[in-house]
Structure 1
Amino acid sequence: MAADAVTPLPFSVLLPVYAGDSPSFVRRAFESVTVDQSLQPDEVVVVQDGPVGAELAEEIAHLRDSTTVAVRVLQLEHNVGLARALDAGLAACTFDVVARMDADDIARPARFAEQLALIAEGYDIVGSAIQEFADERRPGAVRVPPGSPQEIERSARFRSPFNHPSVVFRREAVRAAGGYEDLPLMEDYWLWARMIAQGARGRNLPEPLVMYRVGAGAYARRGGANLLRSELELQRRMRRIGFTTRTQFARNLAVRGTYRLVPEALRRRTYRSLFAEETPG
């Protein structure tokens, strides 16, 4: 869909950054959501989540001086974690329509033109497939989410229905659901569940509009005792608000809980078989 076919909607890009991010990755992510886009944002809100090193601080200052797009930097005194950083960033955004971007990913040029067209049609949240990569020149597996509102609502009872780095949403729909709440590595899924329960309408595009950087340890982080604790808490919360049935709750504990405890190599194979398709590099 051509950018000139999109009903103009002003929108913000929300980009959180913390001490562990690479300055060069941050620069590439910023370029991909500004100068590379066929439909450029009206502002980029950079949330600096706590103190950062000198090199990253210099890069953030460079972004602030951008002549391409208005950039606002929100500096948080302490590292508060992703959920609280995003909530603070949402409050700082000027516009109701907000696009998420991670500091180490790359947005493809048609991303906002494609997604804003659906937001203009009345959807509250629009995501897309994402494509894993370690080297930008050799993209890998594609994670394809459920597409239609009905498929999203159905699948959300078992797995996160959106790829978090790919979403564009209406801030008011996020606020109506209570905003981001702290739940390590599960804050996005918990938000989507509450939004869907509140009646938010979602869509996913099958094209991988975001390249998702996968480094060493990416699948290791999907398991372990800490993530298992978050998984159990997520399932309790979804059951408490009536988002899942007792049967779905028991199934999720058995399947998703076990997934957090299996060896990394098996976890990688299982995830790819369920949620991704291989693409020749």
Structure 2
Amino acid sequence: MKPSLSVVMAVYNQAETLNPAVKSILEQSFPDFALVIVDDHSTDETPELLRQWRLKDKRVKVITNSRHLGLTKSLNVGLKQAKTRFIARMDGDDVAMPERLKRQRDYLLSHPKIGLLGTAVRLIDEAGKPLRVKQLPSSPETIRQSILSGCPFIHPTWMLRKSVLDEVGVYNEAFSYAQDYDLALRIVSRFLTANLLDPLLNYRVNSGETISLKHLKQQEWLALRARWLALTKYGYSITEAWRLVKPVLSFAVPAGIKKLVYARYYW
């Protein structure tokens, strides 16, 4: 029988953290899913680890890019293979709680008007040590009110309906960073969204894969571009342009200072 859920993961040279991430998905209490992993032409031990997982579990499907495409294009490669009713995201350096997929799927089944569902996360450092719980706006109303100020979702916690992507489209490949924010803005403009308040993912911060501290200025610039598209193309009212004041002022802060602030206070 065809699974009802696809979990999409794109990885690149993540051999050090890949096994716990994949294991946490394959050991979910809800077993009816396909795990679609796009290997973005890794040069470390990632391909061999993925080969072993594919042999161990028939739910694992590995797609290997013939050249390095970057995260955005790799995610779209994965989405093309996701033909199921629900699609979840996962990253190769995070760890999902055993009930994550069940909790999110059950919520979407019981709330048919919700198009995208995220969760709170437990922040962990590079060694996996717990730091604190990070919660986000949870109701459709608070998410809509806050989204132009900043992305109210943690990307690898997403679960959404395929029908939502059929309407708003996939990741915009012009965005090497903030691709999740651009897509979230499109989704929120047409659908109700929510976040569960329980932390259902251990989310690794301050690692090489955490773009909030790497290429920060480029990420901020693309996030500003996403906001501009929201106001000019995605149906957000131009009267909400005042919400861009703080992000614009934040962008003006030198990158070195901003990275110190992010590392100390943001997470």
Compute the displacement of 1:257 (Å). Answer: 2.8
Q: Distance in 1 between matches of 2:265 and 2:243?
A: 17
Say if 1:247 and 1:270 are closer, same or farther in 2 by CA, change over 3 A.
farther
CA contact 2:148–2:243 (8 Å) conserved in 1: no
Equivalent runs, 1:116-265 vs 2, <5 Å = 116-121=105-110, 122=112, 123-134=114-125, 138-182=129-173, 183-198=175-190, 200-216=191-207, 218=210, 219-221=212-214, 223-224=216-217, 226-241=218-233, 243-252=235-244, 254-260=245-251, 261-262=253-254, 263=257, 264-265=259-260
Structure 1: which 5+ residue stretches go unaligned?
Answer: 1-8, 273-281
Q: CA RMSD in A?
A: 2.1
Q: Distance in 2 between matches of 1:141 and 1:241?
A: 37
Compute the displacement of 1:179 (Å). Answer: 1.2
Q: Does 1:10 align with 2:7?
A: no
Compute the displacement of 1:271 (Å). Answer: 2.6
- Match in the other structure for 1:91: 80
Q: Distance in 2 between matches of 1:57 and 1:65?
A: 12
Compute the displacement of 1:31 (Å). Answer: 0.4
- Kindly provide the amino acid, as one letter, of the partner of residue 151 in structure 2: S
CA contact 1:13–1:41 (8 Å) conserved in 2: no
Q: Distance in 1 between matches of 2:23 and 2:163?
A: 27
Please list the CA deviations of residues 233-279 of structure 1 after superposition, one character each: whole Å capped at 9, or x if unmatched.
22221111254444533441x3113324341222345534xxxxxxx
- Match in the other structure for 1:62: 52
Q: Distance in 2 between matches of 1:41 and 1:167?
A: 17
Equivalent runs, 1:256-275 vs 2, <5 Å = 256-260=247-251, 261-262=253-254, 263=257, 264-269=259-264, 271-272=266-267
Q: Please give the TM-score of this superposition, normalised by the length of structure 2.
A: 0.87
CA contact 1:34–1:41 (8 Å) conserved in 2: no
CA contact 2:8–2:37 (8 Å) conserved in 1: yes
Q: Distance in 1 between matches of 2:32 and 2:177?
A: 27
Say if 1:90 and 1:232 are closer, same or farther in 2 by CA, change over 3 A.
same
Compute the displacement of 1:66 (Å). Answer: 2.0
Q: Distance in 2 between matches of 1:41 and 1:139?
A: 29
SS at match of 2:176: coil
- Match in the other structure for 1:276: none
Q: Please give the TM-score of this superposition, normalised by the length of structure 1.
A: 0.83
Q: In percent, how many aligned pairs have the same letter?
A: 25
- Kindly provide the amino acid, as one letter, of the partner of residue 221 in structure 2: R
Compute the displacement of 1:175 (Å). Answer: 2.4
SS at match of 1:83: helix
Structure 2: which 5+ residue stretches go unaligned?
Answer: none
Compute the displacement of 1:89 (Å). Answer: 0.7
- Kindly provide the amino acid, as one letter, of the partner of residue 18 in structure 2: V
